[in-house]
Amino acid sequence: MTSQKEKPTHKSVRLAIVRIEKGRPNIVSKDRKMSVKAVAEEAGVSRALIHRDCPDLLERIKGGVNKGIRQQRDAKQVELNEYKDRNRELRAEVAELKAILAKVQSQNATLIRKNMALSNVHAENGNVTQLIYS
């Protein structure tokens, strides 16, 4: 991972990255996100030095920055897929309930028509007595 003749600045930058990743920095705040500026302050070097002399560590820093964003994006995507599945289920349920409602409305209309027909027969036939139940 490290060469035998690692420059002291390279080593200090690498150790600063490790400290920030582990959440135990010496100089910068623990709440500070991984960035080139934070690593430079922690290592006591300039940002230009990191860009110029430590391109391998620069990739590690950028990977650390994007890691949290990727995790958030992936979590949101999973949540979105769950909501889409739930939405699909609810739409199917609504369609099923609409079909049931249409069938019940049809039966209700048929019963109303039959009831009206029986009422007309009752009105025409005077010898039928209506029973009232309480």
- CA end-to-end distance (rounded Å), the chain: 93
Region of 96 on the Ramachandran plot (φ > 0 left; ψ -120 to 50 alpha; else beta): alpha
The answer to whether the beta carbons of residues 39 and 63 sit under 8 Å apart is: no
pLDDT tens digits, one per residue of 52-89: 988 888 888 887 556 667 778 889 999 999 999 999 99
Q: Quickly count helices (H) and strands (E) in the chain.
A: 4, 0
pLDDT tens digits, one per residue of 8-41: 889 999 999 999 888 888 888 888 888 899 999 9
CA-CA distance, 17 to 60, in Å (whole number)? 8
Q: How distant is the alpha carbon of residue 86 from its chain centre? A: 12
Q: What is the CA radius of gyration of the chain?
A: 38
The answer to whether the beta carbons of residues 61 and 49 sit under 8 Å apart is: no
Q: Say what the pTM is.
A: 0.46
Residue 72 pLDDT? 83
